């Protein structure tokens, strides 16, 4: 598919989303879901003012991507930076290559809660957009409850639970770098960052008493 063939799909996606897009917003959302909207090898997200393109094609085409970027920047002229993640590329290309601008956004807001992000730390974007409703549920249902968030990654479930008034949250992940992003989210929301709340073990040898936790992920 060339850009002229893709353009009607992008036009339709933008038309359906533009009424809800606020250029002053710091939120994150999926702008184009190619799997459902006509081009399975492409997904496009926005994180605050940063454009993120996921290229899942077998043979990435730079000119094709450049046409997409020009098209989107003309219509969303408040975008400050852009990054592309290429599935079939080097590790650096998989994690993300800057395609315009200078600095990627490092935080977004969802349901009035701040989340730290690191858009080129990993193959994904460090924040899963498709679990937004679960995070909202946690903010509405965790007051006074405890949470053990196993395999927490960057800890968004724990952050949402803290915002909802959870009494005790422990985040565990084998990767300290991921948990450091969770800590930054805590700082953005002025939550206490006790060392014992961020645990980086070899998980399976650890023993947590189930009855001590009212909620576990």
Residue 131: HSE in the Cβ half-sphere, 13 Å Cα cutoff: 14
pLDDT by residue (tens digit) across 13-58? 999 999 999 888 899 999 999 999 989 999 999 999 999 999 999 8
pLDDT at 202: 61
Average pLDDT for 122-148: 95
Topology (CATH) of 130-216:
Rossmann fold (3.40.50)
Among the residues of 38-130, which ranges form H helices?
62-75, 91-95
pTM above 0.85, yes or no: yes
In Å, how far are 32, 99, 172 from 73, measured between CA atoms?
A: 14, 12, 39
- What is the phi/psi pair of residue 187, to 5°? -65, -40
Contact between residue 148 and residue 208 where contact means Cβ atoms under 8 Å apart: yes
Domain boundaries along the sequence of the chain: 3-105, 130-216
Calpha distance 114→163 (Å, rounded):
10
**Binning pLDDT at 50, 70 and 90, where does residue 200 land?**
confident
What is the number of other CB atoms lying within 10 angstroms of the CB of residue 215? 16
Token pair listed for 107: 């935080």
CB neighbour burial string for 54-90, b if at least 16 within 10 angstroms, e if fewer: bbbbeebeeeebebbbebbeeebeebebbbbbbeeee
Calpha distance 25→47 (Å, rounded):
10
**Binning pLDDT at 50, 70 and 90, where does residue 217 land?**
confident
Calpha distance 148→64 (Å, rounded):
44
Three-state SS for 101? Answer: coil
- Does the pLDDT value for residue 209 go beyond 70? no
Number of residues written out for the chain: 217
pLDDT at 216: 81
CATH code: domain 3-105 is 3.30.750.80
In Å, how far are 134, 150, 171, 213 from 168, measured between CA atoms?
A: 18, 14, 10, 9
């Amino acid at each position: 598919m060339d850009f002229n063939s893709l353009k009607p799909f992008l036009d339709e996606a933008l038309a359906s989303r533009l009424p809800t897009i606020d250029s002053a917003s710091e939120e994150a959302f999926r702008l184009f879901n190619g799997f459902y909207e006509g081009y399975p090898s492409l997904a496009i997200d926005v994180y605050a003012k940063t454009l993120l393109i996921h290229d899942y094609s077998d043979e990435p085409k730079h000119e094709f991507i450049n046409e997409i970027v020009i098209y989107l920047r003309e219509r969303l002229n408040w975008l400050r930076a852009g990054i592309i993640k290429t599935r079939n590329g080097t590790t650096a290309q998989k994690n993300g290559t800057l395609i315009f601008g200078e600095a990627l956004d490092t935080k977004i807001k969802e349901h009035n809660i701040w989340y730290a992000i690191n858009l080129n730390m990993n193959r994904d974007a460090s924040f899963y957009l498709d679990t937004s409703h679960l995070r909202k549920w946690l903010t509405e249902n965790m007051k006074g409850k405890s949470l053990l968030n196993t395999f927490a990654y960057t800890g968004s479930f724990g952050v949402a639970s803290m915002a909802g008034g959870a009494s005790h949250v422990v985040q565990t992940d084998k990767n300290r770098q991921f948990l450091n992003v969770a800590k930054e989210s805590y700082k953005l929301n002025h939550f206490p960052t006790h060392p014992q709340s961020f645990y980086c073990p070899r998980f399976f040898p650890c023993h947590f008493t189930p009855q001590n936790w009212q909620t576990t992920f």
